[in-house]
């Protein structure tokens, strides 16, 4: 069969909403696009543990500490499913990690901002997990099977995270004037970086056309950003907080909230490695990887020994 026939069959399967599995034929571009997106996503999950980890020892109560610990542990699990999904496409874990540590691979811009107060734990859960859910629920229907299936569990867990964050902010907003101000300050700092999480505007998004055509992505960056805007505004009203956007206006014609211009210069700067915490985040990840070397070596040696024992037992039998 020629490549052209294979491509046509592949696109027919996509049109029929069939799942593409790791051993199926797929165009090179599809494989590369998936490895890029899934790896970026996996890196985001494990780098995303760092801003919150900063508050495990500072949580205001044992209940909050236990919930935060569980959330951060969930993010580690998400990273692991995603690295495994990338491996089914032929990517090597060591290569992926190396690309993260050398700055070649991207991860979500949002995690390059600092966490300055306890209210930031609320804002991350509410806004960052909230944005991640809106982005990831459609990925449960991604055309690539392992990615789609991983997203089902991830999205369930992210829903708990989002409520955990909202509840932290609700408690602060019902507290003293100082606590409410802390929540507002946190929203002021996290709002625009959260809007940037959805990626560049559709017109400036080089990957969207192919990803939408092959049903890796089901909605465009701007469509998802608008959904986030519309879902979050009423939640801010419940908290009694003001979204820091002077241009925010209800549009009666479209039935959506119109929002102000995003600072794309800031976004590009952060993505290129020049955000407030980029260097700190990569350094922390690299140290964790280096410090875990003995664990990986011990696990590999143990697995080899177990295989050897199994084959020896077989021979005796």
DSSP state of 113: S
Specify the residue, 46 or 180, whose C-beta has the smaller distance to ligand FAQ. Answer: 46
Out of 19, 31, 36, 286, the residue judged to bind ligand FAQ by CB under 6 A: 36
Give the nearer residue to ligand FAQ in terms of CB position, either 48 or 146: 48
CA-CA distance, 211 to 13, in Å (whole number)? 15
Examine residue 226 and tell whether it contacts ligand FAQ (CB under 6 A).
no
Residue 45 gets the label, from left (phi > 0), alpha (psi -120 to 50) or beta, of: alpha
The whole-angstrom separation of Cα 112 and Cα 127 is: 15
147 vs 180, beta carbon nearer ligand FAQ: 147
CA end-to-end distance (rounded Å), the chain = 46
Q: Is 149 in the site for ligand FAQ (CB under 6 A)?
A: no
Q: Is 138 in the site for ligand FAQ (CB under 6 A)?
A: no
Region of 23-31, 37-45, 258-266, 285-293 interacting with ligand FAQ (CB under 6 A)? 37-45
Bridge partner list, 251 = 256
Tell me if 108 contacts ligand FAQ by CB under 6 A. Answer: yes
Out of 20, 34, 39, 40, the only residue in the binding site for ligand FAQ (CB under 6 A) is: 40
User: Which CB sits closer to ligand FAQ, 40 or 226?
Assistant: 40
CA 180, CA 184: separation in Å to the nearest integer? 6
Q: Please list, residue by residue across 39-78, b when 16 or more beta carbons sit within 10 angstroms of its beta carbon and e when fewer do.
A: bbbbbbbbbbbbbbeebeeebeeeebeebbeebbebbeeb
Q: Is 132 in the site for ligand FAQ (CB under 6 A)?
A: yes
Based on the shown chain and the rule CB under 6 A, indicate whether residue 147 belongs to the binding site for ligand FAQ.
Answer: no
Closer residue to ligand FAQ (CB): 184 or 220: 220
Residue 150 lies near ligand FAQ (rule: CB under 6 A): no
Tally Cβ neighbours within 10 Å of residue 92.
Answer: 10
Choose which of 122, 130, 146, 199 interacts with ligand FAQ (CB under 6 A). Answer: 199
Q: Binding-site residue total for ligand FAQ (CB under 6 A)?
A: 28
CB 27 within 8 A of CB 78: no
Length of the chain: 317
| Paired residues of 257 in beta bridges | 250
Give the interface with ligand FAQ as residue ranges (CB under 6 A).
36-37, 40-41, 44-45, 48, 75, 106, 108-109, 124, 128-129, 132, 135, 196-200, 205-208, 211, 221, 271
């Amino acid at each position: 069969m020629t490549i052209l026939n294979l491509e046509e069959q592949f696109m027919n399967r996509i049109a029929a909403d069939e799942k593409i599995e790791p051993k199926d034929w797929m165009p090179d571009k599809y494989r590369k696009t998936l490895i890029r997106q899934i790896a970026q996503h996996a890196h985001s999950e494990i780098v995303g543990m760092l801003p919150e980890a900063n508050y495990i020892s500072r949580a205001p109560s044992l209940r909050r500490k236990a919930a935060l610990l569980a959330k951060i542990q969930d993010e580690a699990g998400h990273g692991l499913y995603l690295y495994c999904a990338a491996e089914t496409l032929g990517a090597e874990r060591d290569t992926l990690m190396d690309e993260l540590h050398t700055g070649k691979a991207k991860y979500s811009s949002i995690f390059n901002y600092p966490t300055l107060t306890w209210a930031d734990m609320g804002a991350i859960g509410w806004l960052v997990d909230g944005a991640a859910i809106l982005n990831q629920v459609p990925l449960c229907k991604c055309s690539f099977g392992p990615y789609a299936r991983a997203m089902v569990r991830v999205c369930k867990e992210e829903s708990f995270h989002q409520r955990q964050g909202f509840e932290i902010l609700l408690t602060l907003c019902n507290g003293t004037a100082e606590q409410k101000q802390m929540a507002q300050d946190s929203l002021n700092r996290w709002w625009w970086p959260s809007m940037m999480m959805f990626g560049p505007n559709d017109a400036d998004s080089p990957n969207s056309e192919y990803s939408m055509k092959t049903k890796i992505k089901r909605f465009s960056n701007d469509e998802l950003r608008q959904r986030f805007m519309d879902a979050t505004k009423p939640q801010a009203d419940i908290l009694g907080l003001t979204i820091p956007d002077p241009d925010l206006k209800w549009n009666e014609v479209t039935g959506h909230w119109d929002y102000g211009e995003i600072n794309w210069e800031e976004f590009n700067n952060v993505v290129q490695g020049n955000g407030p915490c980029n260097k700190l985040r990569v350094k922390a990840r690299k140290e964790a990887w280096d410090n875990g070397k003995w664990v990986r070596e011990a696990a590999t040696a143990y697995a080899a020994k177990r295989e050897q024992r199994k084959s020896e037992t077989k021979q005796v039998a």
